[in-house]
Copies of this chain bind each other. A is one copy, B any other.
């Protein structure tokens, strides 16, 4: 029985697993009129974190010109503000406005509730182990040792 390549290829499996586990919440976001892109920025800046365009790119998985424009849109909606970094004026620091914080908080609460439902029925240490594994992959972009039960 020959499996298809994409059913055994690590990168495909990661991307598909990520999409599958996110689909439900992303649908909920859409029903609220919030794009995944905007959600990622709001979540990255909550509660009151200042990040540069470059840092937001890494956190939200988009290219720099895209991020500049996404921030433009958030600023236009008064959800975020830009301010110049004093020590390095090439950098732009992005922060949430109070209005943006409120918006982000609602979404984050829903995200936490959704995650709790996803993880319900699994032992806390199993969930923690999976997160630790994902953090290792994300930080090293390489493979750790695992065992699944």
Residue in chain B with minimal CB distance to A120: B143
Q: Is A4 at the interface (CB under 8 A from chain B)?
A: yes
Kindly list chain B residues whose C-beta atoms are within 8 Å of the C-beta of A141.
20-21, 23-24
Are B137 and A20 in touch, CB under 8 angstroms?
Answer: yes
| A134: interface (CB < 8 Å) | yes
A65-73, A76-84, A85-93, A122-130: which lies at the B interface?
A122-130
**CB pair B130 A44 closer than 8 Å:** no
Q: Which residue of B lies closest to A23 (CB)?
A: B141
Residue A43 contacts which of B5, B19, B121, B145 (CB distance < 8 angstroms)? B5
> Does A33 make an interface contact (CB < 8 A)?
no
Given A18-B14, A122-B145, A146-B129, A9–B44 Cβ distance below 8 Å? no
Q: Which residues of B contact A144 (CB under 8 A)?
A: 122, 148
| A106 vs chain B, min Cβ distance (A) | 13
Q: Name the B residues within 8 Å of A142 (CB-CB).
A: 21, 118
Q: How far is the CB of A122 from chain B (nearest CB, A)?
A: 5
CB neighbours (8 Å) of A12 from chain B are: 40, 43
Q: Note all chain B residues with C-beta closer than 8 A to A7.
A: 135
Q: Is the CB of B138 within 8 A of A9?
A: no
Closest to A115 in B: B10
- Interface on A for B, CB 8 Å cutoff? 4-25, 40, 43-44, 46, 49, 59, 61, 108, 111-112, 115, 118-119, 121-123, 125-127, 129-135, 137-139, 141-149
